[in-house]
């Protein structure tokens, strides 16, 4: 067997055997196959796709490329495929713990124009995210919740392949995304998996058809591995909530936990939270919704967040936001027709909220707060968005370009498109 034959076989669109996939992936992990050949292999997969069998085999090889954890207790993992303004995990993890659902959440950093939960939480002064498995297990036993960085030694194949995909134009491939996400989720020990699969211009999946196909294969892989897996397809055409940028998003998550969140984020939290609660407690969904709404109203999740932040050495009263800011006002009256999530995510990155190179240091204090969302009526000179900046400024025209107006009334976009479970495949 050699890598050239494998690349050529995939280039012809033929199905690879598990042995061939193993040879390619483990050869790359062990530095026996160079970047340029793996890039070519990835491009062949990107262009020709994979059969279900290949995707399932690839996931299995990646999953077993490193440690596979077993927490010794039932827990639910919630994963987002990435979007703009997505601070849902920071709300959901403590909220679920307040309702007696154990949450040991391993999260990632920002990727491209999308933000990452770990970068956001590090906006809380002193907050530690690099914690050993033993300490995290103790924390979850003590207070029911921890949000930490991915443990070293889990899925080294994904770590290496993802970094290469990021710079070879091979990220948006259904088999490569499915195997990347599912290998990590299966290796990280949760018994049940909920995936918030974002769809829209600010997401990796830009249309519903592709998103459904990705959901189908991920749900199947989860079940083949004995883990109940549910994909919730949600809108990412406009940013989620009002805040974009690390500190600003943590502050919005806190408002939401205190019952004062923006409507769309609140709706998403209630939908995902009730699904998680009903799954964990085997409870009818209507009952779960009542529990989640009650916890939000009473601020129970906020109390849990305070406990979690203190446990992880953070200071909840110290989440700095830049004092330099300016407002951008509407240049016409009308209705907001669209707010381009992708462009705003890229602009937040340019302000310093995200990275362009692996070693860039993030500015936690910058970002945007939207004052209008799609479907809102706006009058000329009303504030559309506040820009928090520091070192780097932005041309106003770039921000104006993110908004489209309509003279006609625009209905509010659908937030939850579909819930995909094993039984409805």
Active-site residue list: 79, 158, 165, 180, 184
Choose between 177 and 288: whose C-beta lies nearer to ligand URA.
177
Choose between 87 and 372: whose C-beta lies nearer to ligand URA.
87
| Whether the Cβ atoms of residue 202 and residue 113 lie closer than 8 Å to each other | yes
Least separation in angstroms between CB 209 and ligand URA: 18
Choose between 147 and 254: whose C-beta lies nearer to ligand URA.
147
Question: 125: which 2 tokens?
Answer: 């002064």
Find the binder of ligand URA among 24, 29, 63, 177 (CB under 6 A).
Answer: 177
| Whether the Cβ atoms of residue 29 and residue 164 lie closer than 8 Å to each other | no
Choose between 10 and 184: whose C-beta lies nearer to ligand URA.
184
Query: Cα(401)–Cα(392) distance, rounded to whole angstroms?
Result: 19
Query: Cα(387)–Cα(380) distance, rounded to whole angstroms?
Result: 18
Least separation in angstroms between CB 184 and ligand URA: 6
Find the binder of ligand URA among 107, 139, 150, 180 (CB under 6 A).
Answer: 180
Residue 380: CB atoms within 10 Å: 10
What would the DSSP string read from start to end of 296-359? Answer: HHHTHHHHHHHHHHHHTT--TT-----S-EEEEE-SS-EEEEEE-HHHHHHHHIIIIIS-SSTT
Q: Which stretch binds ligand URA (CB under 6 A): 126-134, 175-183, 193-201, 408-416?
A: 175-183
Question: 410: which 2 tokens?
Answer: 């625009």
| Whether the Cβ atoms of residue 72 and residue 191 lie closer than 8 Å to each other | no
Choose between 82 and 115: whose C-beta lies nearer to ligand URA.
82
Angle at 205 between CA 277 and CA 36, to 5 degrees: 120
Choose between 180 and 322: whose C-beta lies nearer to ligand URA.
180
Q: Which stretch binds ligand URA (CB under 6 A): 12-20, 144-152, 176-184, 379-387?
A: 176-184
Task: State which of positions 32-71 bind ligand URA (CB under 6 A).
Answer: none
Q: Which helix (H) or strand (E) holds 190?
A: none
Least separation in angstroms between CB 205 and ligand URA: 10
Interaction between residue 220 and ligand URA (CB under 6 A): no
Number of H helices, E strands in the chain: 16, 13
Find the binder of ligand URA among 66, 82, 115, 116 (CB under 6 A).
Answer: 82
Least separation in angstroms between CB 311 and ligand URA: 26
Determine the residue with CB nearest ligand URA: 180
| Whether the Cβ atoms of residue 24 and residue 3 lie closer than 8 Å to each other | yes
| Whether the Cβ atoms of residue 147 and residue 308 lie closer than 8 Å to each other | yes
Q: How many residues bind ligand URA (CB under 6 A)?
A: 8
Least separation in angstroms between CB 215 and ligand URA: 13
Interaction between residue 81 and ligand URA (CB under 6 A): yes
Site string for ligand URA, 183-212 (x = CB under 6 A): -x-------------------x--------
Q: Which stretch binds ligand URA (CB under 6 A): 18-26, 174-182, 294-302, 391-399?
A: 174-182
What would the DSSP string read from start to end of 16-59? Answer: PPHHHHHHHHHHHHTTSS-HHHHHHHHHHHHHH---HHHHHHHH
Interaction between residue 150 and ligand URA (CB under 6 A): no
Contacts of 228 (CB under 8 A, 6+ apart): 191, 192, 193, 222, 279, 422
Contacts of 177 (CB under 8 A, 6+ apart): 81, 171, 204, 214
| Whether the Cβ atoms of residue 252 and residue 242 lie closer than 8 Å to each other | yes
Q: Which stretch binds ligand URA (CB under 6 A): 178-186, 244-252, 355-363, 367-375?
A: 178-186
Q: Which stretch binds ligand URA (CB under 6 A): 130-138, 173-181, 262-270, 281-289?
A: 173-181
Least separation in angstroms between CB 271 and ligand URA: 21
Choose between 179 and 340: whose C-beta lies nearer to ligand URA.
179
Least separation in angstroms between CB 170 and ligand URA: 10
Choose between 214 and 288: whose C-beta lies nearer to ligand URA.
214
Least separation in angstroms between CB 172 and ligand URA: 8
Q: Which helix (H) or strand (E) holds 397?
A: helix 396-400
What would the DSSP string read from start to end of 251-273? Answer: HHHHHHHTT---HHHHHHHHHHH
Interaction between residue 181 and ligand URA (CB under 6 A): yes
Q: Which residue ranges make up the site for ligand URA (CB under 6 A)? A: 81-82, 176-177, 180-181, 184, 204
């Amino acid at each position: 067997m050699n890598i050239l034959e494998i690349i050529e076989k995939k280039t012809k669109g033929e199905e690879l055997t598990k042995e061939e996939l193993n040879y390619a992936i483990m050869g790359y992990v062990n530095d026996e196959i160079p970047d340029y050949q793996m890039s070519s292999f990835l491009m062949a997969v990107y262009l020709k796709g994979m059969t279900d069998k290949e995707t399932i085999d690839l996931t299995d090889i990646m999953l077993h490329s490193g440690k596979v954890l077993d927490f010794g207790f039932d827990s639910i993992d919630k994963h987002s495929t990435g979007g703009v303004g997505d601070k849902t995990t920071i709300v959901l993890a403590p909220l679920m713990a307040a309702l007696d659902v154990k949450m040991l959440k391993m999260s990632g950093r920002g990727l491209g124009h999308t933000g990452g939960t770990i970068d956001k939480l590090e906006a809380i002064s002193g907050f530690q995210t690099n914690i050993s498995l033993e300490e995290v297990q103790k924390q979850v036993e003590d207070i029911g919740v921890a949000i930490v960085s991915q443990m070293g030694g889990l899925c080294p194949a994904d770590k290496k392949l993802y970094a290469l995909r990021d710079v070879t134009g091979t990220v948006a491939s259904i088999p490569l995304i499915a195997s990347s996400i599912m290998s990590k989720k299966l290796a990280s020990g949760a018994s049940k998996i909920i995936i918030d699969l974002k769809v829209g211009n600010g997401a990796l999946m830009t249309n519903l058809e592709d998103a459904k196909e990705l959901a189908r294969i991920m749900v199947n892989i989860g079940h083949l591995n004995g883990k109940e897996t549910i994909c919730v397809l949600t809108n990412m055409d406009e940013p989620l909530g009002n805040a974009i940028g690390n500190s600003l998003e943590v502050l919005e998550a806190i408002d939401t936990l205190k019952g004062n969140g923006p409507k769309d984020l609140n709706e998403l939290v209630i939908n995902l939270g009730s699904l998680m609660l009903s799954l964990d407690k085997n409870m009818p969904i209507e009952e779960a919704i009542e529990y989640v709404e009650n916890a939000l109203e009473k601020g129970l999740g906020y109390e849990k967040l305070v406990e979690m932040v203190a446990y992880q050495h953070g200071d909840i009263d110290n989440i700095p936001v830049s004092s330099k800011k300016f407002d951008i006002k509407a240049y016409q009256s009308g209705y907001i027709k669209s707010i381009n999530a992708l462009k705003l995510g890229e602009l937040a990155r340019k302000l310093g909220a995200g990275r362009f190179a692996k070693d860039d240091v993030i500015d936690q204090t910058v970002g945007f707060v939207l004052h209008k969302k799609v479907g809102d009526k706006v009058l000329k000179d009303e504030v559309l968005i506040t820009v928090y900046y520091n070192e780097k400024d932005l041309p106003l025209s770039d921000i104006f370009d993110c908004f489209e107006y309509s003279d006609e009334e625009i209905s509010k976009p659908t937030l939850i498109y579909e819930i995909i479970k094993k039984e409805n495949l």
